[in-house]
Structure 1
């Protein structure tokens, strides 16, 4: 595909802008709390924008457009379940999370259930966060490959390298500042440019109704089993995701955290509807696409004029980069704070921990890019990530917060056994199977309850402090 030089210039300038903003953000990251949690000082607009940006990444844009092309409006369920999970979090858990004196999900589990549960949950949550970063690097590679004609490997290296650079420099402050830029651009690109122009090119909604199968207009067209799988993977996964908890802890007040979290959930649902409709338009405009993962990129080239194409591509790359940077930082924080500092470097000063965080971010970032080059499939990588997260640590986190009788032994065995069940099930039944996730969550809850009742609460109870 030929892309006008103006679009290429816009893209290059945008990427350079992110680097500059990242460098500016690095000047504010003077302590480990600045680096990991942006000083816990974000107001509503910055908090809402950053949370929305980290939720909506590669799978949300590229994956949901692909699902819209293949199934119609029901392709929205992937992103809608992300939004549902965020809204549930905002309604039921934000107050408890905001009152915890922790940096990570695993640090909470370590305080509540002991270091063994904290360690295994850190390994699972860090793997999840890194795999989500992998999906974003794959998405960036796909977009740049289709639109700019670069080799897929080169595209992944460029996109992933820029994210890694500004995340290393400023941590959460750089991520926050770049996310605000990215949130604005992706909102304009999707809602105000791509969606209306796509509908216009496809002949309007009435023409879609005339040319698409009837199932494309059914919210259940993708199938009840698939919708249920998305609920297990994404709605439940959002509730215990480290990158989301880490963003919640950046809010200045509990009121900001609650309002911003719920608003981000609503925004996510609207975003899912928009990209699913874009996929439906693509089915009419570009029938017979060989690789439906390229639906969004191909659609952009087909319907957008020069200049606007560059802006929309920047918007999509924004969505990818914001999630990649947030999950990359989440993974490195888990490894630095909950594994290395907890078990190997307990006496680190704040400055030493800041240096360690940057080093670990670099290593995980490189590993992320390598995995992206190896897997090269957005939806598969995302399914694996959320399957481990939802099945492995959802039950211990929820019961730990709401059930005082939950014990450390129960949490440890629950995480270990449910993770084994999920990995074995995915290996036997396939990476897209729903059953292993159901089995894993069920096993996790059963073990948590049975072992807790059998062993009793012998250790001193950890009761999270809440903001009043």
Structure 2
């Protein structure tokens, strides 16, 4: 067997084994969904940062860096800003509501704050969107295996799905938290080994910039590649408005925040997660740029990071670095499975189909949904062209539908259920129309998603002061 593939398979077996061991502590749905609300700062940090450094933030961003250069930094930086807002505003406020009313999911909160029908609408959209993002994580795993062992995209996707479904399906958030701890250690050692090796391979920073210039026909193109606004202001604003809200309204991240033992834990664990995101933001970008410097004609830009890990490093470091990427994709995939499972079981099945279902049967249903989601994710991963496309579908859908209802509804009693529905539906329709009918362009320098988000905020502010909620809702 290919030695790189052998190392990854062995590591995958360890993750699955640890996940199954953790199932012994899963006594009911509280443990499966919110880890019994027992997570301290360290565990909350690991279970947040693990999925936040996933396929998009590693293989995907390295691919963007390969194409656009250093301005790809904005992807993770925008995410980190969202994590800061989650740490000091949204997270503490929504945790208190969840603790007081024994909420397990974001859908529970939307039901509490607005009504059951709004919960159903958002949960259905999130369930569909999260299958797209799950497929993106599977594609990240596939690119790794393609680079190191020459396996087909199909085989790589199947391997990734099997590993994640096995350990998450067994123990839910509790198992994922334990496994994420191992993945974090492997990730940081692997990625921070990769940067000096990659830079050394291309002759340091100066050597990289020289090679980049040689790969372009004009010096002006190289200057743009090395500029923080190289991808263009419109794209940067698009990333900021799409990704920043996504990292404080994500059902998966909020569900993990619910698992914290107190408000201080929410602030500390989530803030540390944001700090690490800021620090990590440049890492995959540098790796992508080094790949472009040495291999400017890759057939697929998302092969940039796996190629760097395999070709630029000695075997011992390369195997560790490839395990780090594998960890990144798998940990993000388990976070997405968490969102899919909670959306379908708790927010849709229990709410609308069988409200009196027992905890034991709900736990069983959660595991069935996890397996089905794995199958659907495989199918979509085989159809979508790349990771960033898959992630953009999810982040856009989530940001335009949830940003205004969640953010304004959490801190004010004025937003009504009607306003929430109007924002969500208008935001999604606007984005879809502009994306497919106007080539993704919005108003002025805004793209389709940015225009949709801005429009929902304007609508919410208008509705708050012209048609405010009459009945008082206790949110905090």
What TM-score, normalized to structure 1? Answer: 0.94
Q: Which runs of 5+ in 2 are unaligned?
A: 213-221
Relative to structure 1, is the Cα distance of residues 442 and 99 closer, same or farther in structure 2, using a 3 angstrom cutoff?
same
Equivalent residue, structure 1, for 2:75: 78
Q: Separation in 2 of the partners of 1:405 and 1:303?
A: 57
**How many equivalent residue pairs?**
460
What RMSD over aligned residues (CA atoms) do the two structures have, in Å? 1.7
Equivalent residue, structure 2, for 1:387: 396
Contact 1:140–1:320 at 8 Å: present in 2 too?
yes
Quote how far apart the aligned CAs of 1:371 are.
Answer: 0.9
CA offsets per residue over residues 144-174 of structure 1, 9 Å max, x none? 1121111110110011111011111111111
Contact 1:380–1:431 at 8 Å: present in 2 too?
no
Quote how far apart the aligned CAs of 1:403 are.
Answer: 2.0
Taking the TM superposition and a 5 Å limit, the aligned residue runs for 1:168-247 are 168-191=169-192, 193-212=193-212, 213-247=222-256
Residue 438 in 1 paired to residue 450 in 2?
yes
Residue 336 in 1 paired to residue 345 in 2?
yes
User: What is the SS of the residue equivalent to 1:98?
Assistant: helix
Moved over 6 A (4+): none
Q: Which runs of 5+ in 1 are unaligned?
A: none
Relative to structure 1, is the Cα distance of residues 432 and 161 closer, same or farther in structure 2, using a 3 angstrom cutoff?
farther
Residue 136 in 1 paired to residue 133 in 2?
no
Relative to structure 1, is the Cα distance of residues 217 and 435 closer, same or farther in structure 2, using a 3 angstrom cutoff?
closer
Equivalent residue in structure 2 for 1:418, among 420, 427, 430: 427
User: What is the SS of the residue equivalent to 1:111?
Assistant: helix
Quote how far apart the aligned CAs of 1:86 are.
Answer: 0.5
Equivalent residue in structure 1 for 2:379, among 370, 374, 380: 370
Q: Separation in 2 of the partners of 1:8 and 1:109?
A: 44
CA offsets per residue over residues 412-457 of structure 1, 9 Å max, x none? 2221222222222222134687532133223322333444445442
Contact 1:106–1:118 at 8 Å: present in 2 too?
yes
Contact 2:440–2:448 at 8 Å: present in 1 too?
no
Equivalent residue, structure 1, for 2:286: 277
Quote how far apart the aligned CAs of 1:389 are.
Answer: 0.7
User: What is the SS of the residue equivalent to 2:428?
Assistant: helix
Q: Separation in 2 of the partners of 1:211 and 1:143?
A: 25
CA offsets per residue over residues 222-245 of structure 1, 9 Å max, x none? 211111010111111111101110
CA offsets per residue over residues 277-331 of structure 1, 9 Å max, x none? 1112112222322321211111122112123222111110100000101111112
Quote how far apart the aligned CAs of 1:209 are.
Answer: 3.4
Relative to structure 1, is the Cα distance of residues 431 and 299 closer, same or farther in structure 2, using a 3 angstrom cutoff?
farther
Quote how far apart the aligned CAs of 1:123 are.
Answer: 1.4
Equivalent residue, structure 2, for 1:19: 16
Relative to structure 1, is the Cα distance of residues 209 and 439 closer, same or farther in structure 2, using a 3 angstrom cutoff?
closer
Contact 1:38–1:250 at 8 Å: present in 2 too?
yes
Equivalent residue in structure 2 for 1:63, among 56, 60, 64: 60
Q: Separation in 2 of the partners of 1:429 and 1:369?
A: 30
Contact 1:405–1:456 at 8 Å: present in 2 too?
yes
User: What is the SS of the residue equivalent to 2:97?
Assistant: coil
Residue 28 in 1 paired to residue 25 in 2?
yes
Contact 2:345–2:369 at 8 Å: present in 1 too?
yes
Contact 1:10–1:310 at 8 Å: present in 2 too?
yes
Contact 2:2–2:149 at 8 Å: present in 1 too?
no
CA offsets per residue over residues 177-218 of structure 1, 9 Å max, x none? 111111111111101x11110011111122223333223332
Q: Separation in 2 of the partners of 1:431 and 1:58?
A: 23
What TM-score, normalized to structure 2? Answer: 0.93
Q: Separation in 1 of the partners of 2:393 and 2:300?
A: 21
Equivalent residue, structure 2, for 1:310: 319
Quote how far apart the aligned CAs of 1:335 are.
Answer: 1.4
Q: Separation in 2 of the partners of 1:115 and 1:422?
A: 25
Which deviates further from its counterpart, 12-21 or 436-445? 436-445
Contact 2:430–2:448 at 8 Å: present in 1 too?
yes
Q: Separation in 2 of the partners of 1:344 and 1:299?
A: 49
User: What is the SS of the residue equivalent to 2:409?
Assistant: helix
Equivalent residue in structure 1 for 2:469, among 449, 453, 457: 457
CA offsets per residue over residues 383-430 of structure 1, 9 Å max, x none? 111111111111000110122111111112221222222222222134
Equivalent residue, structure 2, for 1:124: 125
Contact 1:117–1:415 at 8 Å: present in 2 too?
no
Relative to structure 1, is the Cα distance of residues 431 and 382 closer, same or farther in structure 2, using a 3 angstrom cutoff?
farther
Relative to structure 1, is the Cα distance of residues 210 and 146 closer, same or farther in structure 2, using a 3 angstrom cutoff?
closer
Q: Separation in 1 of the partners of 2:439 and 2:249?
A: 24
Relative to structure 1, is the Cα distance of residues 348 and 306 closer, same or farther in structure 2, using a 3 angstrom cutoff?
same
Equivalent residue, structure 1, for 2:216: none
